[in-house]
């Protein structure tokens, strides 16, 4: 691991020579223009459609392992949210409503693509967006799959203020290779090739023209998650829902602000969704679709019709 860290630091120092500004999606991507926003997405397979929404700081490639298997019997569509991956950035005046903006963009995407009998699968922030979407447009969504979703854990006004104080564009712009390595490693229970890929892509992004926009988008996401809690509305979600967490999630619940909360405590909150099915995967961190993809795929396949 120490040797790998040294390699990353070296690559960081010469990264501008090898800058790759788009993620490795594994397959060709497509573009759909919604209003003035170009949405970049992956579309593979045939059958019932699963629409995948990534988390904060992520992109559609975070679903690569899931798509490889699930697309054999399903149509898998994974999008880049505005400001991420190959999707265009937008200026949002009210940061508290950014998740509502994402949900509206996805609603238009679903309608433009004429998607029916739709399962929406969201990770982390994407899970919170998926719940907002299901609440606002229930007729469009048949099922929800929430992978380590944000929105179940809540924060007091003082806690939210503290998070916002530190989540600034400058904070993310100033991260060095060691910090990037540590932050991405925290998403995994055990480092693997996907960990390395994400770290290198994030380091490369530092030298890209859209880097400042990327950092600004992360700040908007943090404010948006805090600005639209969904816990009080969970009992209104009528879709058949699967909630899956990694047993060793180091990000949810927040270990600094809520040290007494466990992953099981957060999962139990999901019981407020009337039809929720709950699962915890052992030896899995926050990004469990890349950390323990086989285990997650098995649970998802058992949930799907």
E strands, the chain, are 30-34, 37-44, 48-53, 74-79, 119-123, 143-147, 240-246, 276-281
**233-242 residue pLDDT tens:** 999 999 999 9
In a domain, 97, yes or no: yes
Report the CATH number at residue 45. Answer: 3.40.50.1820
Confidence of residue 19 (pLDDT cuts 50, 70, 90): low
231-287: pLDDT as tens digits: 999 999 999 999 999 999 999 999 999 999 999 999 999 999 999 999 999 999 999
Q: Note whether residue 94 is domain-resident.
A: yes
**The domain containing residue 45 runs over which residues?**
2-12+28-303
Specify the higher pLDDT residue, 4 or 249. Answer: 249
Token couple for 129: 């967006």
Asked if residue 284 is part of any domain, the answer here is yes
The answer to whether 223 touches 130, Cβ cutoff 8 Å, is no
| pLDDT at residue 20, rounded to an integer | 76
On whether residue 17 sits in a domain, the answer given is: no
For residue 18, tell me if it sits in a domain. no
Confidence of residue 90 (pLDDT cuts 50, 70, 90): confident
Cα gap 107→96, rounded to integer Å:
19
**Residues 171-217 pLDDT 10s:** 999 999 999 999 999 999 999 999 999 999 999 999 999 999 999 99
User: How far apart are alpha carbons 133 and 179 in whole angstroms?
Assistant: 33
Residue 103 pLDDT greater than 60, yes or no: yes
How many structural domains is the chain composed of?
1
pLDDT surpasses 70 at 9? no
Determine the pLDDT at residue 111.
Answer: 97
Q: Report yes or no on 96 lying in a domain.
A: yes
Mean of all residue pLDDT scores within the chain? 92
Please check whether residue 111 lies inside any domain of the structure.
yes
Of 9-13, 157-161, 206-210, 290-294, where does mean pLDDT reach its minimum? 9-13
**Structural Rg of the chain based on CA atoms:** 18
- The verdict on residue 19 lying in a domain is no
For the segment 40-51, what is each residue's pLDDT rounded down to a tens digit?
999 999 999 999
Contacts of 66 (CB under 8 A, 6+ apart): 52, 76, 121, 289, 293, 296, 297, 300
pLDDT band at 13 (very low <50, low <70, confident <90, very high): very low
pLDDT at 156 over 50: yes
Provide the pLDDT for residue 16: 39
Give the pLDDT confidence score for residue 14 in this predicted structure: 39
Instruction: Average the pLDDT over 52-72 and give the result.
Output: 97
| Whole-number pLDDT of residue 15 | 40
């Amino acid at each position: 691991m120490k040797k790998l860290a040294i390699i990353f630091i070296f690559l960081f120092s010469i990264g501008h020579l090898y800058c790759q500004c788009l993620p490795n999606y594994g397959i060709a991507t497509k573009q759909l223009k919604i209003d003035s926003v170009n949405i970049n997405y992956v579309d593979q397979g045939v059958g019932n459609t699963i629409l995948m929404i990534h988390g904060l700081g992520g992109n559609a490639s975070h679903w690569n392992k899931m798509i490889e298997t699930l697309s054999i019997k399903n149509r898998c569509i994974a999008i880049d949210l505005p400001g991420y991956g190959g999707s265009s950035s937008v200026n949002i005046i009210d940061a508290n409503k950014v998740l509502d903006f994402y949900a509206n963009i996805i609603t238009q995407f679903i309608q433009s693509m004429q998607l029916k009998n739709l399962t929406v699968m969201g990770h982390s922030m994407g899970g919170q967006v998926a719940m907002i979407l299901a609440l606002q447009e229930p007729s469009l969504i048949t099922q929800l799959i929430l992978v380590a979703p944000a929105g179940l854990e809540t924060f007091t006004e003082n806690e939210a203020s503290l998070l916002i104080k530190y989540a600034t564009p400058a904070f993310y712009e100033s991260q060095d290779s060691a910090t990037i390595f540590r932050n991405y490693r925290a998403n995994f229970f055990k480092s693997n090739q996907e960990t390395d890929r994400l770290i290198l892509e994030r380091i490369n992004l530092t030298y890209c023209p859209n880097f400042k926009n990327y950092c600004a988008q992360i700040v908007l996401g943090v404010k948006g998650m805090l600005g639209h809690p969904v816990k009080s509305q969970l009992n209104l979600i009528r879709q058949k829902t699967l909630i899956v967490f990694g047993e060793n999630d180091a990000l949810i619940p927040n270990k600094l602000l809520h040290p007494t909360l466990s992953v099981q405590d957060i999962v139990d909150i999901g019981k407020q969704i009337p039809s929720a099915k709950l699962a915890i995967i052992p030896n899995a961190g926050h990004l469990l679709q890349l950390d323990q993809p086989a285990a997650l795929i098995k649970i998802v396949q058992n949930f799907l019709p």
